[in-house]
Amino acid sequence: MTMVSNSMTMPMSDPSAWATAMSNLGMPPISMTGQQLVPDFDPGLGLMTGIAPINPLMPGLGLAPPPVSQDVPVVKEIIHCKSCTLFPPNPNLPPPAMRERPPGCKTVFVGGLPENATEQLIMEVFGQCGEIAAIRKSKKNFCHIRFAEEFTVDKALMLSGYRVRVGSSTDKKDSGRLHVDFAEARDDLYEWECRQRMLAREERHRRKMEEDRLRPPSPPPIVHYSEHECSELGDKIKDDNKFPESVRVLLTWLERGEVNRRNANNFYSMIQSSNSHIRRLMSEKSQHEKEMEEAKDKFKTAMAAILAQFEQIVSVFHAASKQKAWDHFSKAQRKNLDMWRKQVEEVRNMHNEQLMGIRGEEEMEMSDDDMDDSSATNSVSQAEALKEENDSLRCQLDAYRNEVDLLKQEQGKNQPISSEEDGTHSQQLSFLQQALQGMQKQLLRMRDDLKEREAELEKSTDDKQQLKNQIHNLKAGLHNLQTTHTLQVRITTNTSIVTWCSCSCGIISTFLNVHPFGASIEYICSYLQRLDSKINPGEVEALLSRLPCTFRQELTGVGASLEKRWNFCGFQGIKNT
């Protein structure tokens, strides 16, 4: 099969004529499907000598046209097949509506086939697009074709809109207008998902290889403990340069649990050597701190010298701006001097503020540290002193109570022999009770002092908490203002939606009540769009489906004339009751 142009027409019913023309041009006779018409072709036997064999499908050289850009319109021509003829559509008509392409699509839907079309005719028409894997033909005038490759689907879509005529018959059953569109198939989706998973695996493998390549090399493994390694490690620990690496080895040995009674002395000596480095580290730290302080002092002195020079320059400009010298300068010179003076003053003020800020920060840090340390130490010392006194008083009170209990027991067991002994016992008991009362009073006073101290601490903490609560309340108020604004916006939108739904329901109910046999969703939308052009059929259908007690959808017709109609059923419940 081939396309027929205005310059040359050649029917493909006689393939020998096509093979002869190709042989005369010195080209292997190949059909548009890629099959060689003459198996034993010799390019040296061509009638036109001096012409090398040419690939007919090569753009610009063979008979196949070069690829056309998307901007240039494609001119469709008549296609002659063995048993049918395809006539192109009118180029002035708009392109047919097509659905969105499914992922990995290899299947197309072909509608508008002639009633007398056979599977062989479908294979003959669409076989030129590529290898066909399967054809599923329906009893009606459509079928589904599954190709072996995805790119052949684009070629098949180019045949959409062509008018098919079987043979030379003019019967209506032998003609039809093709409509080719994408079709969804589970096999296509499965193959596409498998391919995507394979690509994902390859991408993960590539990333893993890249990460392994960029990963830094792992540190060398640490050797296990031995006498030889222990002696070498002891020498390394004493060396200041090798100390960090040797300490890491010692830590690993300790964590592995390689310490036992035999080598405990060796480990002790290594730990002792590690401890000897503390004094060196502290000295290095103090040296670095000293260097940092010296650098700060040097920076301050340099800043002060720079500021003094700035002051001198400013004084020079002030002296030049006086009338004695100012009158001798020209107008342009005065303008430059004034501009320079302003620039120097700005730079001087900036450096002065920077230096004052550094000094102020240091003073504040020192004062804050002193205040914090003094207040913390005073409060802690007072609380500890009160606790110690309280504990001592409790111990004394317990001791006095035990003595009183013992005296009572002895008095109960041994009755008084004489009145003198009774008098002495009563005196001792009265003395002990007085001492006990005095200790209790002292304990109460100490408790009151402790409560006062705790109240002062709680008051300071309450003040801090109140400040935090005020900040939190301010943030919450700001958040509440934002939420109220958003709620007002949502309420206005919801009220507008509710009013629209109620008005639409009333209009649709009146419209369907006038049409007792129901109406399609397009008919209802066409009526509503006269009132509001922004109404969408999907929104109207969703509204009707949410009110099943008022509106009911019914299917009318048979076969191709099957139609969905909506009816008003709001009064049926009242009639039944």
What is residue 68's predicted lDDT score, i.e. its pLDDT?
43
Closest Cα partner for 152 from 180, 116, 171?
180
What is residue 190's predicted lDDT score, i.e. its pLDDT?
94
**H or E segment and range at residue 556:** strand 551-556
What is residue 181's predicted lDDT score, i.e. its pLDDT?
94
Q: Which architecture characterizes domain 79-212 according to CATH?
A: 2-Layer Sandwich (3.30)
**How far is the first Cα of the chain from the last one, in angstroms, to the nearest whole number?**
72
Tokens of 158: 């180019």
Q: pTM higher than 0.85, yes or no?
A: no
- Report which residue type is found at 8: M
- Report residue 488: phi and psi, to 5°: -65, -40
Query: Domain ranges in the chain?
Result: 79-212, 301-360, 504-568
Q: Do domains 79-212 and 504-568 have the same CATH topology?
A: no
Rounded alpha-carbon distances, angstroms, from residue 47 to 18, 21, 41, 96, 329: 15, 10, 13, 47, 103
- Report residue 191: phi and psi, to 5°: -65, -40
**Chain centre distance of CA 535:** 36
Predicted confidence (pLDDT) per residue in 96-112, tens digit: 888 999 999 999 999 99
Rounded alpha-carbon distances, angstroms, from residue 154 to 22, 78, 143: 28, 19, 17
- Report which residue type is found at 269: S
What is residue 420's predicted lDDT score, i.e. its pLDDT?
59
List of residues 6+ apart from 21 with CB closer than 8 A? 10
Rounded alpha-carbon distances, angstroms, from residue 211 to 198, 203, 216, 507: 20, 12, 10, 66
List of residues 6+ apart from 464 with CB closer than 8 A? none
Which pairs from 236-240 meet CB under 8 Å and 24+ separation?
A: 237/270, 237/273, 237/274, 238/273, 240/277, 240/280
What is residue 198's predicted lDDT score, i.e. its pLDDT?
95
- 504-568, which class in CATH? mainly alpha
- Report residue 393: phi and psi, to 5°: -65, -40
Share of the chain above pLDDT 90, in %: 14
List of residues 6+ apart from 424 with CB closer than 8 A? none
What is residue 61's predicted lDDT score, i.e. its pLDDT?
36
As to burial, measured by CB atoms within 10 angstroms (0-12 exposed, 13-18 middle, 19+ buried), residue 352 is middle
Rounded alpha-carbon distances, angstroms, from residue 393 to 13, 430, 435, 444, 445: 127, 20, 12, 10, 12
Q: Which letter does DSSP use for residue 163 in this model?
A: E
Cα separation, 431 vs 184, in Å, equals: 108
* C-beta separation of 136 from 111 below 8 A: no
Residues of the chain with pLDDT under 70: 1-75, 365-381, 383, 395-396, 399, 410-423, 493-494, 496, 498, 559-560, 573-577
CA atoms in the 13 A half-sphere facing the CB of 174? 10
What is residue 59's predicted lDDT score, i.e. its pLDDT?
40
* C-beta separation of 236 from 242 below 8 A: yes
The Cβ of residue 9 has, within 10 Å, a number of other Cβ atoms equal to 11
* C-beta separation of 184 from 102 below 8 A: yes
